[in-house]
Structure 1
Amino acid sequence: MKKSRFIVAGAIATGLMLSLAACAPGSSAANAGNADANTAVVTDPSKIAATTITEFDSFTDSTSGLSQYMDKVNAAFMAKYPKIKVKRQTAGGDINTTLKLKISDPSGPDIVPANQGWAGIGDLSASGLLLNLDPYAKAYGWDKTFPTSLLQQHSATTDGKQFGSGSVFGVPVNQGSFVTVFYNRDKLSQLGLKVPTTIDQFQASLSKAKAAGITPVQIGIQDQAATAILLALQDAYGDPTKIRDFVYGEGNVKAQDTGMTQAADTFAKWAKNGYFPKDYQGIKLGDSATSFVNGDGLYFFYYTGYLPASGPQLDKFGTFIMPRNDGETAPVTGSSSQNFSIAKNSKSPDASALYLNFISSVKNGQISIDVLNTPIIGQWKENTSSAMLNDTLGVLNQADKANGYLPYFDWSTPTMLDTLSKNQSLLAAGQIDGAGMSKALQDDYAAFRAKKK
C-alpha cells in the first residue's frame, strides 16, 4: 500500500492527503472517456434540477482549517444555489482501500478526492471510474481560470497511457500546499542571519547554527515520510522543465537529469556534517515536527499548512522556498490540498460540475485565508493577521506569476513515493550515493513506462 505524502502524528494527521493505490485500467476506458467528452452539459444554474450531491473528502478533524474550509465552502455554495444540497462525507485513515469501491458503487459519492498522479487520476480515469470533464472545462473556461501547470495535474489520456495531458478529470480546490522550508524566526535572528537567497547562503547558515549549538535541520526519517527535503533540493538544483517532463513522461528525460542526484548528495553531505539530530534515523517525522515547533532546530522541511502549531505559536516561524544559486526564481512544487473529480456513476453530473467550478474559483481563495490557510490560485495581498500566512502568500504569488507549480516527483509512477522513501533511508545509512538514488528511481520509472507503451 502506498504511503501518504503527509504522514505525521497528532495535529498534522488531521490533514492527510492520501495517495491512492493503483487501479488496473479497464478495457472500456477509452470509449467511456470519449463518450463523456461528447456529452451535452448544462451550466446554467436555473436549468439544473433540484438535487442533493454527496461530497467526499479526507479532512476528518472538524477543528482543522482544512475541514473548516470545506464546511464554509459547502455552506456558501448552498446559499448561492439553494436548489442543490451538499451532503459531506469524510473518511479517516487510509482511503486507498475504500475509494475505488466508493466510486464503483452506484449509490456512492458524486464528488470524490481522486488524488493527482498515476496512483490517482491516472489509473482511476483509465479504469472508467471518473467522469471526463472536458465539456465542463470548455464551458466554464477552466483553461483560462487555472494556471496551466495546475490544470496539467488533473489531466490524463483516456487510453491510460499518459498523465499530465489529454482530458480533464479533476479540478483543484482553491486551498494549497507547497514544499517549503520552515525556519525559527528567533533563532535566525539570534545567529544574525536573514532568510537565505542562495543555496550557498543556506548551507553557510547550517554551519553557523551547528557552531552555535543549534540543530541546523530538524528531521526524522524512521517512517520514511520525510521526502520534502529531497524535493526542495531537487527544485533548487534541477531544471523545472525536465522535472515536469519526467513526471509527465514527456521526451526522454532520465531521473539523473532532474537534479535528484545533486539533491541526494547534498542530503548525504548534511547528514555527514552533523546538520541533523544525532538519532534522526530513528525519529518519526511527526515527532521531529513537534520538536521543531517546541524550539529544537533552525530549519524544518515540510509542506505549508501542515506544521503542528496554530495562532501566536505558528507565527514564531516563517517559511520560504529553497533558493537557487543561478539567480533564477526558484520553482515551487505544490498542488491543491484536495482535488476533486466526479464519479462516473454520479446521477447529478451538471450539479456536481457546478460545485467543482464554485470550489475551484479564485473567489473562494478568500475562504482559505479566512481560516488562515493558503489558496492555490490567484494573487493575494500579504497583509493578513498571520505572519506565517503572509509568508506563504508571498510564495503563492511568486508561483502564480511564473505559472511555476511543479508536480510532485512521486506522481511519476504509482510506486515512486515508496521507492524514493526507501532509498532515502539507504542514503542516510551510507549504502548508496546520489547516483545510486537516481538509478533506483530511474529503474522504477523505466519499468512503469514500459508497461504503458
Structure 2
Amino acid sequence: MRKTRKTAVAAALAAAALTIAACGGSADSPGGKDGGTGEARTLTLWHYEGADSAMGKAWAEAVKQFEASHPNVKVKFEEKGFEQIQKTAGMVLNSDEAPDLMEYNKGNATAGLLSKQGLLADLSDEAAKRGWDKLLSASLQTTARYDERGIMGSGKWYGVPNYGEYVMVYYNKDAFTKHGVEVPTTYDEFTAALDTFVKAGVTPIANAGAEYPAQQIFYLLALSKADRAWVDGYQLYKGTTDFHGPQLTYAAETFADWVKKGYIAKDSAGMKAEDMGTAFMSGKFPLLVSGSWWYGRFQSDIKDFEWGSFLWPGNQMSPGSSGNLWVVPEKAKNKDLAYDFIDITMKKEIQNLLGNSGGVPVAADPAAITDPKSKELIENFNALSAKDGLAFYPDWPAPGYYDVLVAGVQELINGGKKPSEVLDEIAQPYNDNLADIGE
C-alpha cells in the first residue's frame, strides 16, 4: 500500500519538470514528430514521489529524456500527495481536469475500482506492442491487470509498474550496538530485542497510526500465522476469510499487547508517516517497519548513524508487490504521449538509476547495480519473490478499506476497543464488498 503513502514531490523536481519543450510522439511513432505537424502539446503528469527518493530521481531523468525525444511537448508536472490522489482520484478522473498520466495505488480497492468504473484507459495493446508484458514477471503483472469486477490478477492491463516494493524492518545499527542487540533471525529473537530496548527506557518501534504504517505491522503479525492460501482468500476472494480465525485474531491481540509492553508508543495513534520517518532519521527510535519507498531517502538524509534493514524475522511473507502504477485516465487528452513516457521509465538506463538510488527496479541490468545498500535491498526483495512471499497490502480488498484499517488499528493503539471488537468492525466492510461484487 505504499501503497505505497509517501511524501509529496519536492519543489526541485517540480522546477525540473514544469517547463519542458519537445515534439509530441504519436501512438504509432514513439518519440516521433507529432504527426509531422510540429504542433506544441502538453503532457500533464502527476506523481507523489519525493525528489530525493529513488523513483523521484529516476523519473526526473525520464523527464529529461522525454524532453530530448519530444522537442515540442511541454511537460506540466503537478505536485500531488498520496492521500490527496487517494481520496479525489475518482472525482478528478471523471472530469475534464484529468491528467494525461498519473501514479496511482494498485489493488482492488484503488486501480481496480477505477478500472471497473471505466475511468482508466485499457493499456493491453500498448503492453503487448511495447513489450511491457515481457519485462514484467507474472507476479508483478498481478497488480497491472484487472477483470470486469475490478479484481486484480487477470483481465485487461490498466496500469504499468516500473518498480517493486516490500515492507521490511529498518534498524539503527548504532543503537543496536549501544544496547548489545544483534540483528534477530527468529521471531523470538525479535521480541527479545524489543524487550531489551524497553528495559533501557527506549520505545523501539517508530509508528504512525494515522496512516498506513500501523496497519502494515498488524498485517505482518497476521502473516506470521498465514500461508499463501490464506492470502489469496483474503486478497483475491479465493475462499472465505474468517476475521476471528487464528491469523487476524493473533494480529489484533498481539498488536494491542505490543502497545501495552511499550514496543509501540501509545501516542503514535495520531502520528503521520512523515513524522514517523523523520523521528527514525533523527535517531529517536531504533526500529522502523515500513516499505522500500523510504530506502532512497534514508540513504540521502541519514548522516548521524549507520543503518540497515532485514526482513521481518520468522515470516515467509511480507506486504509487498509491484510498485504503484502508471495509469492513463480514459479522459486523458494525450494518451500517446503518456505511453511514450511510460516506455522511457522502463528503459534499462532509468531502471539502473532507480536501482542504484535505493529503489527496486523491475528491468535493470543486475551488473549495473553497484551501491552496496541497494544490492541488499534488491537481494531481500528477490528472496521474498523467490519464495512467493509478496502478500500485497492489507487495505487492498475493498474500496475505502484503507480508512477502515486506519481507524481499527488506532483503536488497538489507544485501547478504545477490544481486539475482538476491532475485528468485527473491519470484517463488516470487507464482507459488504463481497456481497456487492457478487461473490
> TM (normalized to structure 2)?
0.80
Judge conservation of contact 2:3–2:105 (CA < 8 Å) in 1.
Answer: no
- Deviation per CA, 1:16-44, whole angstroms, max 9, x where unpaired? xxxxxxxxxxxxxxxxxxxxxxxxx8477
Question: Paired residue for 1:37?
Answer: none
Question: Paired residue for 1:368?
Answer: 354
**Aligned partners of 1:42, 1:130: CA distance in 2, in Å?**
20
1:447 Cα offset (Å): 0.4
Question: Paired residue for 1:34?
Answer: none
Question: Paired residue for 2:408?
Answer: 423
1:331 equivalent in alignment to 2:321: no
**Aligned partners of 2:432, 2:225: CA distance in 1, in Å?**
26
**Aligned partners of 1:291, 1:347: CA distance in 2, in Å?**
42
Question: Paired residue for 1:410?
Answer: 395
1:133 equivalent in alignment to 2:119: no
**Aligned partners of 1:262, 1:250: CA distance in 2, in Å?**
22
Q: Which amino acid aligns with 1:439?
A: D
Determine which of 141, 151, 156 is the counterpart of 1:162. Answer: 151
Question: Paired residue for 2:247?
Answer: 259
Overall identity of the aligned pairs, in %: 24
Q: Which amino acid aligns with 1:56?
A: L
- Deviation per CA, 1:37-82, whole angstroms, max 9, x where unpaired? xxxx847766984674624223375555543322211222444x44
Question: Paired residue for 1:19?
Answer: none
1:38-437 matches, cutoff 5 A: 42=28, 49=35, 52=41, 54-59=43-48, 62=51, 65-79=54-68, 81-82=69-70, 85=73, 87-93=75-81, 94-96=84-86, 98-105=88-95, 108-158=98-148, 160=149, 162-174=151-163, 176-221=164-209, 226-256=214-244, 259-277=247-265, 279-281=267-269, 283-306=271-294, 309=298, 310-313=300-303, 316-324=306-314, 330-361=316-347, 363-376=349-362, 380=366, 384-385=370-371, 387=373, 389-437=374-422
- Deviation per CA, 1:143-184, whole angstroms, max 9, x where unpaired? 3321222211122223x353332211000033x432221111
Indicate how the Cα distance of structure 1 residues 400 and 207 shifts in structure 2: closer, same or farther if over 3 A, else same: same
1:133 Cα offset (Å): 1.6
Q: Which amino acid aligns with 1:411?
A: W
**Aligned partners of 1:337, 1:161: CA distance in 2, in Å?**
18
Indicate how the Cα distance of structure 1 residues 166 and 6 shifts in structure 2: closer, same or farther if over 3 A, else same: closer
What SS does the aligned partner of 1:153 have? Answer: coil
Number of residue pairs the alignment of both structures matches = 415
Q: Which amino acid aligns with 1:148?
A: A
**Aligned partners of 1:195, 1:105: CA distance in 2, in Å?**
51
Q: Which amino acid aligns with 2:327?
A: S
Indicate how the Cα distance of structure 1 residues 336 and 49 shifts in structure 2: closer, same or farther if over 3 A, else same: farther
**Aligned partners of 1:105, 1:69: CA distance in 2, in Å?**
30
Indicate how the Cα distance of structure 1 residues 380 and 238 shifts in structure 2: closer, same or farther if over 3 A, else same: farther
Indicate how the Cα distance of structure 1 residues 376 and 278 shifts in structure 2: closer, same or farther if over 3 A, else same: same
Q: Which amino acid aligns with 2:386?
A: K
1:347 Cα offset (Å): 4.9
What SS does the aligned partner of 2:326 have? Answer: strand
1:223 Cα offset (Å): 6.2
Indicate how the Cα distance of structure 1 residues 401 and 294 shifts in structure 2: closer, same or farther if over 3 A, else same: same
1:6 Cα offset (Å): 6.6
What SS does the aligned partner of 2:43 have? Answer: strand
Indicate how the Cα distance of structure 1 residues 83 and 415 shifts in structure 2: closer, same or farther if over 3 A, else same: same
Q: Which amino acid aligns with 1:74?
A: V
Judge conservation of contact 2:5–2:212 (CA < 8 Å) in 1.
Answer: no
Judge conservation of contact 1:6–1:13 (CA < 8 Å) in 2.
Answer: no
Determine which of 402, 424, 428 is the counterpart of 1:439. Answer: 424
1:107 Cα offset (Å): 7.2
Indicate how the Cα distance of structure 1 residues 253 and 384 shifts in structure 2: closer, same or farther if over 3 A, else same: same
What SS does the aligned partner of 2:319 have? Answer: strand
Stretch moving more, 81-90 or 117-126: 81-90
1:369 Cα offset (Å): 3.2
- Deviation per CA, 1:229-288, whole angstroms, max 9, x where unpaired? 113323333213422332222333344558332222221221222223364445555434
Judge conservation of contact 1:74–1:86 (CA < 8 Å) in 2.
Answer: no
Indicate how the Cα distance of structure 1 residues 340 and 53 shifts in structure 2: closer, same or farther if over 3 A, else same: farther
Q: Gaps spanning 5+ residues in structure 1: where?
A: 16-40
- Deviation per CA, 1:321-340, whole angstroms, max 9, x where unpaired? 21226xxxx32322455411
Indicate how the Cα distance of structure 1 residues 254 and 135 shifts in structure 2: closer, same or farther if over 3 A, else same: farther
**Aligned partners of 1:97, 1:276: CA distance in 2, in Å?**
28
Indicate how the Cα distance of structure 1 residues 150 and 122 shifts in structure 2: closer, same or farther if over 3 A, else same: same
Q: Which amino acid aligns with 2:252?
A: A
1:196 Cα offset (Å): 1.5
What SS does the aligned partner of 1:207 have? Answer: helix
Q: Which amino acid aligns with 2:119?
A: L
Cα RMSD, aligned residues only = 3.5
What SS does the aligned partner of 2:288 have? Answer: strand
What SS does the aligned partner of 1:90 have? Answer: strand
1:372 Cα offset (Å): 3.9
**Aligned partners of 1:84, 1:251: CA distance in 2, in Å?**
52
1:128 Cα offset (Å): 1.7
What SS does the aligned partner of 1:182 have? Answer: strand
Judge conservation of contact 1:171–1:360 (CA < 8 Å) in 2.
Answer: no
1:194 Cα offset (Å): 2.8
Judge conservation of contact 2:358–2:377 (CA < 8 Å) in 1.
Answer: no
**Aligned partners of 1:425, 1:365: CA distance in 2, in Å?**
37
